[in-house]
Structure 1
Amino acid sequence: MVMGPTHSMSGAALGLAMAAVIPASIGGPSTAVGAMTFAAVTAGAALLPDLDSPQATIARTFGFLSVGAAHITENAALAVYEVSRSDRDRDLHNGHRTATHTIWFAMLAGLLVGVLVAMFGKVPALVVLFLMLGLAVRGLFPEWSSKSDWLAITAVSAGAALAVGAWQPQMASAWALGMAVTVGVIAHLLGDALTKSGVPMLGGLVSINGKRWWDICPPGFMRIKANGVADKALLAVFTVLAVWLAYATLFDPSILGAPWPPALTTAAP
């Protein structure tokens, strides 16, 4: 798989780019803070598919709670695989890289977020923000998060979510938040699709040559190795892109065609 920081940074860059083009009239961000929040959600959601592995780094984000959620997700993913696989699909002993690594999961996760926020308002929006911020912190700041207790990550995520909720109560519509989650998951799938193993993006529903779970990946010479040179190069590219997009979002949104004013303006003397 592509390493967590690459996943999260690609999600952040994609989220910043999308925040600038989603019309505010349909619930897109209308301020720089809202756009940064949208990108934080995509950055966190870009790690969400790996919750199907209790051994994954993100399973430790919220301590025993996220580890327990990872065990449940792994078993649920394996159950989906077993119910939907054909005789030509291989036997598996765990659910990693199955159900949560499909386009169906990306759409379902975003739809679920959209429905919950549309029905119940601010509370589920803050819960989604809290969870995605925790994953984003784990992915974007691996050195700090690996040395910090899970309680510290939880406290930082909770504080940031509450601050955003108080400062920017209308950060984005329910469907924009759902879209951010879907986009983040898709960013993860595209990253993993570049690796040797690939991902079963259409798994469970689309059958090819009698197999329902077949992995999508590029030709052999284009595949990359986790934490290898190509992975680190991708991380560097996405980091530069995300930093530039963040600068434009905050200080010169007109470059992106965004509708909001700069976060900081200098008054004329």
Structure 2
Amino acid sequence: MTHGSEEVAAMVMGPTHAMSGAAAGLGMAAVIPASIGGPTTAVGALTFGAVTAGAALLPDIDSPQATVSRAFGFVSVGVAHAAEDAALAVYNLSKGRKDPRRRNGHRTATHTVWFALAAGALVGVLVDAFGKTPTIAVLFLMLGLALRGLFPKWSSSTDWLVVTAVSAAAAVAVWTWQPQTAGAWALGTAVTVGIVAHLLGDALTKSGVPMFGGVLSINGRRWWDVGLPGFLRIKANGSGDKMLLSVFTVLSCCLACLTVFDPAWLGASWPPLTG
């Protein structure tokens, strides 16, 4: 896959990434301990899933053409250009003697487990240290990305200012009505899980993903791709991608229903929302 087609893939796979993140987040919400700020209500668990869905788009901030980069208009596009340049700089500084030259940084630094761990840790540290302000900021960013990924038709036909306003309102509402669901390390975990969901999704594609890039050297290359055997890999926006989107959509809907109406089935301790 060429760099150009990778950027196209970043656009068309946005909903699949977001829905896989939502499924992962909803599945994990019931097992995150309340002692680190894990959800204690159905609304909190749904929020956790939404944050994870948004974080599942975050790695593609290194591509100005991606869903995440269009979330907040010219502001996020500008951030994406800066992230692309920074990722390319990291690649150039850490590449092995057999790693190829690159013209952009897409699918490099932000597509690694190191980025997933660092992003989650940064969120945890900031929220733990400063409380309300970084919490609302993280909720605003992740919920905005979730809107873009989970509702692509609505968000693509809606002005980015509207998406931004809805994201801000949702973030403030979550903090106001469910502050206990926004624990520092729970938010950090949600971000890390979402990013890892993205990496696993990219590992299914034709180009794979440099999940351990920049650190582990194999045969002179530090930026080698992790992926399935060639015949099992899918094409972005192809039948395999659409099938995965359908599977994750059904799974997310089922998990959301259980979260609200039968949390005990998931092993959660909070009462049903209707109880």
- Superposition TM-score tier, normalisation by shorter sequence: over 0.9
Q: Which among 235, 238, 253 is matched to residue 243 of structure 1? A: 253
Amino acid corresponding to residue 17 of structure 1 in structure 2? G
Q: Give the aligned partner of residue 203 of structure 1.
A: 213
Q: Does 1:264 align with 2:274?
A: yes
- Residues 31-110 of structure 1: matches in 2 within 5 Å? 31-110=41-120
Moved more, 111-120 or 54-63: 54-63
User: Deviation at 1:233?
Assistant: 0.7
User: Deviation at 1:27?
Assistant: 2.2
Q: Give the aligned partner of residue 4 of structure 2.
A: none
User: Deviation at 1:76?
Assistant: 0.5
Q: Percent identity?
A: 72
| TM, length-normalised to structure 2 | 0.95
Q: Does 1:158 align with 2:179?
A: no
Partner-residue secondary structure (3-state), 1:170: helix
Judge conservation of contact 2:203–2:227 (CA < 8 Å) in 1. yes
Cα distance in 1 for partners of 2:192, 2:38 equals 15
* Matched positions, count: 265
Q: Give the aligned partner of residue 233 of structure 2.
A: 223
Q: Give the aligned partner of residue 140 of structure 1.
A: 150
Q: Deviations over 1:159-182 (max 9, x none)?
A: 111111111011132011000000
Cα distance in 2 for partners of 1:87, 1:220 equals 25
Cα distance in 2 for partners of 1:159, 1:176 equals 21
Gaps of 5+ in 2: 1-8
Judge conservation of contact 2:42–2:272 (CA < 8 Å) in 1. yes
Q: Give the aligned partner of residue 5 of structure 2.
A: none
Cα distance in 2 for partners of 1:225, 1:252 equals 36
Partner-residue secondary structure (3-state), 2:154: helix
Cα distance in 2 for partners of 1:56, 1:240 equals 24
Q: Deviations over 1:140-193 (max 9, x none)?
A: 000011111100110110111111111101113201100000000000000000
Gaps of 5+ in 1: none
Q: Deviations over 1:94-137 (max 9, x none)?
A: 10000000000000000000000000001101100000011100
Cα distance in 1 for partners of 2:143, 2:114 equals 23
Q: Deviations over 1:177-210 (max 9, x none)?
A: 0000000000000000000100000000000011
Q: Give the aligned partner of residue 6 of structure 2.
A: none
Cα distance in 2 for partners of 1:194, 1:234 equals 10
Q: Deviations over 1:12-67 (max 9, x none)?
A: 01000100111213321111111111111100000000000111122111011101
Structure 1 runs of 4+ aligned residues shifted over 6 Å read none
Cα distance in 1 for partners of 2:190, 2:91 equals 26
User: Deviation at 1:229?
Assistant: 0.8
